[in-house]
């Protein structure tokens, strides 16, 4: 087999027959375009009932009494259940990762027990024949609350007189961490320039078009549970549901068919979803929970509520010497299970300033409890903040020193030939391309021309701004992300691939599809590995009974980790097929290859089709030697071993215009150059960048979960909570630099989050670039007209 191994070691992704690197269309898109998708709320099962929840109207209150008699008599009502009853069948959970040292969070129950701790916390479950009847009965449930003072402001959460949400902890501290290289104070003291600022990032949320939904079907005869879940991590959910409800894990099956947007929102343990599973167990019939939009705003995880104080020290020539940050974030009353609510802060500490050459770094992160909805991991976790903080400081310093922002970055970005290297925060970088990406970006933007145009327009009173950002992105995570902290979330992933009796290829993968194109790129990789037409390949995802155990889709891991498993499985199957071919063709496997779905002697075109080979193996085994057994199903797994994360990198640019009378920001154009290693499908990578950037734009300019001083969410409707709309969005131009990772044969890094991570920085820098001649500066996101007008002094 040595000949074959040599060939596969140098698998040529640039060959004409390779699907890797080609913008093929997504086979599953046609189904969705015809409205033939199947989302959880589309599924109807026999004897299915619906649950709706009575939710807390208060941010903090004691439950005095729950009266359900009137509600129970309402039409269609099947059962009304309180938190205490759910707790009889469901064990509590604790959202703590042990590697985030000192982190604490109390046990959490699906429904509130005696105290409610955020507005929207589920309190009573009402099960009825229809969702409408369940909602009617929810209105009739009478819960008496004794309102308690609430801890809302993260800045005051640790004050001596603060309301302590969990008395047993003595304070509202959830997690604290410090990173310190030791020389920051000395560097700050001797620096030519120290710039400092405090930057606020507003709380926002994912607003998936399909609200969260779950359909749990407990079968009492089998003691099995089938759960249709719109989620990203089926095996993680399998473990959680089995362990919480004391079921055998292998009798819990999670099916994730079409998912209507996820972005990290649908990867957590929500009490209303776990309660639906518990109710199915209690009632021994299918129970569906489909959140409405109001519930989504109140209970889908929020993210990004951070205040960061930053200081940056530079020498006379503009070389960065030291960076210091202090991050404070309020994450709600509990740390979310099982990924914890400490990760966004932790990422900010790990990533801030990561593209740059400074040697000294000190960072402090403080995570506190508060009486608002919980925060947890949403697309690009921590990146938008880490990147915006560093890029803002770099621009502030550049302006003070009279250096052009592009020049400032060229001066300070880690040189492309300096890898592998380590950041001051301890992140290990395998191979990044900041300078190549920045050079390509500036060319794409026609940067110098834009600057000239900007100068000309300023004379006419038009305030245009140009903003840049350089960034790193955590992708392809190893077990160092969650597994090491005790969470049962797989970092490895697998692929089982088989040659079926008719010659087609079926590949089952543990990573999942939410529309980003997972199934498509896996088919591209499998077809390339095997030497078959892509149309012969069917990819299975999202069913714990059918796919190898895997982590699912998060932290931009599907292409890099799931893709490598598919590649290795495909090559292993090819080896087995060639062995069969050698037996049938009376040849050596090393002399054979698969070309266009045929086993051929290398260099010839005549050969044996895979359909014929499969026919012989499956139906006419009598034609094979008695001592030879074909194996046409293989499984391979892959995990990242050499690095904690395989970082990708890139650069973004933004051109915009600020209306200084109204404060409105008009985006003119965005540019993105991304290095995600080997690009499997350029079109799909571009669309991840565009969609990601627009979510970044949302956080930078529009999206904000606004709470009043009693902890009431003020804008929990789609009309009041602003998301990016078609008319306000600019065209986004993309380009790539390809530095394949050597940690895998495929060489792919993740591409799903870089857009969201890099955009807010470029936008804030562009706004400040526009406002600089007026002596104004914004340091608060979302950059609403009010924020701009306050910066200008028009509004006080």
Based on CB atoms, which residue is closest to another protein, 50 or 780? 50
Angle subtended by helix axes 234-244 and 271-283, to nearest 10: 60
Q: Which is nearer to another protein, 169 or 664 (CB)?
A: 664
Task: Give the one residue of 7, 32, 421, 540 binding another protein; rule: CB under 8 A.
Answer: 32
Torsion of CA 674, 678, 684, 687, to 10 degrees: 0
- 30 contacts another protein (rule: CB under 8 A): yes
Q: By CB under 8 A, which span of 209-217, 386-394, 464-472, 768-776 interacts with another protein?
A: 209-217
* Closest by CA position to 556, among listed 657, 650, 664: 650
> Does residue 288 touch another protein according to CB under 8 A?
no
Q: Kindly state the smallest distance separating residue 254's Cβ from another protein, in Å.
A: 18
Of the candidate residues 202, 467, 483, 515, the single one contacting another protein (CB under 8 A): 515
Q: Are 143 and 124 in contact (CB under 8 A)?
A: yes
Position among 212, 229, 339, 690 found at the interface with another protein (CB under 8 A): 690
Q: CA angle, 741 as apex, 735 and 742 as ends, to 5°?
A: 150
The CA distance from 574 to 15, in Å, is: 17
What is the x/- site pattern for another protein, positions 89-118, by CB under 8 A?
Answer: ------------------------------
- Give the distance from CA 59 to its chain's centroid: 28
Q: Which region, judged by CB under 8 A, interacts with another protein, from 53-61, 200-208, 328-336, 496-504?
A: 200-208
Task: Count other Cβ atoms within 10 Å, centred on residue 733.
Answer: 17
CA angle 597, 600, 603 (to 5 degrees): 120
Coil, helix or strand at residue 781: strand
Does position 142 interact with another protein (CB under 8 A)? The reply is no
Verify binding: residue 45, another protein, rule CB under 8 A.
no
Whole-number Å distance between alpha carbons of 351 and 644: 13
> What does the per-residue mask of binding to another protein show for 240-269, with x meaning CB under 8 A?
------------------xxxxxx------
Structure tokens at 203: 């709380």
Q: Is 46 in the site for another protein (CB under 8 A)?
A: no
Q: Which is nearer to another protein, 343 or 732 (CB)?
A: 732
Identity of the residue, 269 or 518, whose beta carbon is nearer to another protein in the bound complex: 518
Joined together, the tokens standing for residue 41 give 């709320």
Count the residues of the shown chain that bind another protein, applying the rule CB under 8 A. Answer: 57
442-451 contacts at long range (C-beta below 8 A, 24 or more positions apart): 442/406, 442/653, 444/653, 444/671, 444/673, 444/733, 444/735, 445/653, 445/655, 445/671, 447/406, 447/653, 450/655, 451/404
Which of 779, 784, 762, 641 is closest to 306 using CA atoms?
779
Kindly give the interhelix angle for 2-9 and 563-585, rounded to the nearest 10 degrees: 150
Does residue 300 touch another protein according to CB under 8 A?
Answer: no
Residue 669 within binding range of another protein, rule CB under 8 A: no
- 293 touches another protein (CB under 8 A): yes
Does 271 help bind another protein (rule: CB under 8 A)?
Answer: no
Question: Which one of 61, 63, 174, 207 is in contact with another protein (CB under 8 A)?
Answer: 207
Beta carbons of 324 and 310 less than 8 angstroms apart: yes
Does the protein bind another protein through residue 280 (CB under 8 A)? no
Token pair, residue 654, equals: 């933004």
Binding mask 534-563 for another protein (x = CB under 8 A): ------------------------------
Give every strand in the sheet of 193-201, ordered side by side: 173-180, 360-368, 320-330, 306-314, 193-201, 780-781
- Give yes or no for residue 213 binding another protein (CB under 8 A): no
Q: Does 564 bind another protein (CB under 8 A)?
A: no
Q: Which of 406, 304, 421 is nearest to 354 (CA)?
A: 421
Stretch that binds another protein, among 21-29, 184-192, 528-536, 649-657 (CB under 8 A): 21-29
CA 10 – CA 512 distance, rounded (Å): 28
CB of 737 to another protein, least distance (A): 21
Mask 710-739, x = binds another protein (CB under 8 A)?
-------xxx---xxxxx-x-xx-------
Q: How far apart are CA 243 and CA 274, in angstroms?
A: 11
Specify the residue, 272 or 513, whose C-beta has the smaller distance to another protein.
513
- Does 70 help bind another protein (rule: CB under 8 A)? no
Short-list 462, 511, 460, 470, CA closest to 490:
511
Using the minimum distance from each CB to another protein, give the nearer residue, 365 or 691. 691
* Shortest distance, position 664 Cβ to another protein, whole Å: 16
Token pair listed for 499: 């040659």
Answer yes or no whether residue 211 interacts with another protein by CB under 8 A.
yes
Using CB under 8 A, pick the residue from 64, 132, 457, 774 that binds another protein.
132
Residues interacting with another protein, by CB under 8 A? 25-26, 29-39, 41-42, 44, 75, 132, 136, 206-211, 258-263, 292-293, 514-517, 683-684, 687, 690-695, 717-719, 723-727, 729, 731-732
């Amino acid at each position: 087999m040595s000949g074959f191994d040599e060939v596969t070691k140098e698998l040529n992704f640039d060959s004409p027959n390779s699907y890797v690197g080609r913008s093929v269309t997504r086979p599953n898109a046609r189904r969705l375009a015809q409205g033939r998708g199947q989302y959880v709320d589309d599924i109807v099962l026999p004897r299915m009932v619906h649950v709706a929840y009575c939710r807390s109207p208060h941010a903090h209150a004691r439950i005095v009494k729950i009266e359900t008699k009137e509600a129970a008599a309402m039409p269609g009502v099947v059962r009304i259940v309180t938190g205490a009853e759910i707790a009889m069948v469901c064990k509590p959970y604790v959202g703590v990762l042990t590697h985030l040292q000192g982190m604490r969070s109390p046990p959490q129950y699906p429904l509130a027990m005696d105290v409610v701790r955020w507005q929207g916390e589920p309190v009573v479950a009402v099960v009825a024949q229809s969702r409408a009847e369940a909602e009617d009965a929810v209105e009739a449930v009478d819960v008496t609350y004794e309102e308690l003072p609430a801890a809302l402001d993260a800045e005051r959460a640790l004050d001596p007189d603060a309301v302590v949400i969990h008395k047993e902890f003595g304070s509202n501290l959830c997690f604290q961490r410090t990173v310190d290289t030791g020389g920051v104070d000395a560097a700050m003291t001797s620096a030519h320039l120290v710039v400092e600022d405090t930057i606020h990032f507003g709380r926002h949320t994912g607003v998936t078009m399909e609200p969260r939904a779950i359909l749990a079907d407990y079968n009492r005869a089998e003691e099995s549970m089938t759960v249709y879940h719109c989620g990203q991590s089926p095996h993680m959910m399998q473990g959680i549901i089995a362990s919480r409800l004391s079921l055998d894990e292998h009798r819990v099956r999670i099916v994730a068919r079409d998912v209507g947007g996820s972005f990290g929102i649908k990867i957590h343990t929500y009490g209303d979803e776990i309660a639906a599973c518990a109710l199915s167990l209690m009632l021994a019939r299918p129970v569906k929970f489909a959140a409405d939009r109001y519930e989504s705003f109140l209970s889908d995880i929020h993210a990004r509520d951070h205040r960061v104080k930053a200081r940056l020290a530079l020498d006379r020539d503009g070389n960065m010497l030291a960076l210091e940050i202090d991050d404070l974030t309020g994450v709600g009353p509990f740390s979310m299970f099982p990924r914890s609510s400490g990760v966004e802060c932790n990422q900010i500490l790990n990533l801030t300033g990561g593209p740059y050459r400074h040697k000294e770094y000190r960072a402090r992160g403080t995570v506190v409890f508060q009486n608002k909805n919980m925060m947890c991991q949403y697309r690009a976790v921590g990146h938008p903040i880490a990147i915006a903080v560093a890029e803002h400081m770099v621009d502030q310093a550049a302006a003070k020193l009279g250096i052009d922002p592009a020049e400032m970055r060229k001066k300070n970005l880690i040189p492309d030939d300096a890898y592998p290297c380590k950041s001051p925060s301890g992140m290990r970088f395998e191979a990044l391309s900041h300078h190549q990406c920045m050079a390509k970006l500036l060319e794409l933007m026609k940067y110098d021309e834009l600057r000239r145009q900007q100068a000309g327009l300023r004379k006419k009173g038009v305030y245009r701004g140009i903003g840049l950002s350089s960034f790193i992105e955590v992708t392809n995570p190893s077990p160092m992300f969650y597994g090491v902290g005790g969470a049962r979330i797989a970092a490895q992933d697998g692929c089982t691939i088989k040659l079926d009796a008719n010659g087609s290829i079926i590949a089952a993968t543990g990573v999942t599809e939410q529309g980003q194109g997972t199934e498509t790129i896996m088919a591209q990789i499998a077809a390339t590995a095997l030497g078959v037409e892509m149309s012969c390949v069917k990819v299975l995802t999202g069913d714990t009974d059918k796919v190898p155990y895997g982590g699912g889709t998060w932290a931009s891991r599907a292409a890099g980790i799931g893709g490598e498993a598919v590649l290795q499985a495909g090559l292993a199957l090819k080896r087995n097929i060639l062995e069969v071919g050698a037996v049938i063709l009376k040849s050596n496997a090393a002399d054979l290859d698969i070309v266009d779905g045929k086993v051929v002697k290398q260099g010839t075109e005549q050969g044996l089709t895979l359909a014929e080979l499969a026919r012989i193996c499956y139906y006419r085994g009598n034609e094979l030697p008695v001592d030879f057994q074909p194996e046409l199903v293989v499984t391979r797994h892959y995990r990242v071993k050499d690095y904690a994360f395989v970082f990708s990198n890139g650069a973004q640019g933004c051109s915009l215009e600020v209306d200084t009378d109204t404060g409105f920001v008009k985006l003119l154009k965005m540019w993105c150059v991304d290095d995600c290693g080997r690009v499997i499908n350029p079109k799909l990578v571009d669309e991840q960048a565009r969609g990601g950037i627009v979510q970044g734009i949302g956080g930078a300019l529009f999206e904000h979960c606004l709470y009043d001083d009693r902890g009431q969410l003020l804008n929990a409707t789609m009309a009041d909570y602003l998301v990016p709309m078609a008319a306000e969005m600019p065209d986004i131009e993309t380009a790539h630099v390809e530095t394949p990772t050597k940690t895998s044969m495929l060489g792919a890094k993740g591409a799903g989050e870089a857009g969201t991570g890099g955009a807010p920085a470029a936008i804030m820098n562009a706004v400040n670039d526009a406002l600089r001649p007026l002596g104004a500066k914004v340091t608060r996101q979302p950059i609403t007209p009010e924020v701009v007008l306050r910066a200008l002094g028009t509004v006080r």
